Every structure is written in structure tokens, then in C-alpha cells.
């Protein structure tokens, strides 16, 4: 069988991934096919880490995207969120185009629609804020919009998010 010969030529890991994909039926989208290890080395991961380094008011920044298998976290400064199914507050901005603000015990988490540099909706970005005096839902939303706008300028496409960072 040709597929078997092709798999033998590939590295053991690539062969296993290809075989799993073939057995799973229709090929998943590029995002769903990414492993957690690959996502941790992606442009999206580099972007959230660099963005948080420039915004000390945040305690977490993440990116989620819709895939053929639903919404998943593709990058986060909290590595436990990478590759997992989106929580409702992460998928809601993708569905509605509107921000979701959650008041935590003493801080806020803001999820916003994420666009590429041409304005196409490509996912959602989450920004968690460290507690600070005078924070309001409105003030953290404005801060999150500025942070996400900085990221959007650097994203040429949804596909770029998944590329291995250089």
C-alpha cells in the first residue's frame, strides 16, 4: 500500500501523526492538527509572550481560534491553556464579535475578538489583569483593546499564528 511506504519514509513521529490523521477520517484543520509542543513554538506563542513582557499590568495573555474540532487555545502565557478547549468566555467573542469581561475575586479577565492586520476575524484574545486600584470593567476593557490592537498589527493571517517562530 502506498500510504504505508510513505509513512516508512517519514520520521517515526511524523509517520505516527499521519497515520493517526488517516485513521481519524477527514483531515483536521491546520490548528487542530498542531500538537501542544508545536503550538508552544508557534508565532502565536511568541506573540503572547512578547506582548505580556511589554504589558506588566497583565498576568496572562492568550489566543484562541475556531477549528474543525471546535474552539481551542493556540497560545497562552499560561501553558496549561494551550491546546485545550476554549471556555465560554473565549469562544463568545469569536461568535458575537463583542468583548466579554469577567470580574474575578480581585481582578478582571477580558476576552476580545482577534483580527489579522487586514481586519479579518481570526479568533479571540484574552487578557487577564493584575489587581490594581480603581480598576473598572470599562477601564480594563479599554486597556485590553489597546493591547490586542498592538497584537493585531503584527498578525498577517490566521495561518501565520501557527507557523514556527523564528
Distance CA 119, CA 101 (A): 22
Domain locations in the chain?
A: 1-28, 34-162
DSSP string, 38-106: HHHTBHHHHHHHHHHHH-TTEEEEEEEEEETTEEEEEEESSGGGTTSBPPHHHHHHHHHSS-EEEE-SS
Instruction: Read off the pLDDT of residues 110-162 as tens digits, 9 standing for 90 and up.
Output: 999 999 999 999 999 999 999 999 999 999 999 999 999 999 999 999 999 98
Cβ–Cβ < 8 Å for 82, 116 = no
Residue with cell 498577517: 156
Instruction: Read off the pLDDT of residues 95-110 as tens digits, 9 standing for 90 and up.
Output: 999 999 999 888 999 9
Enter the C-alpha cell of residue 2. Answer: 502506498
The pLDDT of residue 39 is 61
Which CATH superfamily includes the segment(s) 34-162?
GAF domain (3.30.450.40)
Residue with cell 498592538: 150
Amino acid at each position: 500500500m502506498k500510504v504505508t511506504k510513505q509513512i516508512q519514509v517519514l520520521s517515526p513521529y511524523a509517520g505516527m501523526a499521519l497515520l493517526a490523521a488517516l485513521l481519524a477520517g477527514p483531515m483536521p484543520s491546520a490548528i487542530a492538527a498542531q500538537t501542544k509542543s508545536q503550538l508552544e513554538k508557534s508565532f502565536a506563542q511568541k506573540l503572547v509572550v512578547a506582548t505580556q513582557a511589554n504589558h506588566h499590568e497583565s498576568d496572562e495573555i492568550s489566543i484562541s481560534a475556531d477549528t474543525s474540532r471546535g474552539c481551542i487555545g493556540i497560545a497562552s502565557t499560561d501553558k496549561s491553556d494551550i491546546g485545550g478547549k476554549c471556555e465560554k468566555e473565549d469562544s463568545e467573542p469569536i461568535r458575537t464579535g463583542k468583548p466579554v469581561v469577567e470580574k474575578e475575586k480581585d481582578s478582571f479577565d477580558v476576552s476580545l475578538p482577534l483580527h489579522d492586520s487586514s481586519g479579518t476575524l481570526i479568533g479571540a484574545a484574552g487578557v487577564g489583569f493584575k489587581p490594581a486600584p480603581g480598576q473598572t470593567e470599562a477601564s480594563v476593557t479599554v486597556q485590553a483593546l489597546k493591547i490586542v490592537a498592538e497584537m493585531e498589527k503584527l498578525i498577517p493571517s490566521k495561518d501565520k499564528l501557527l507557523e514556527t517562530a523564528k
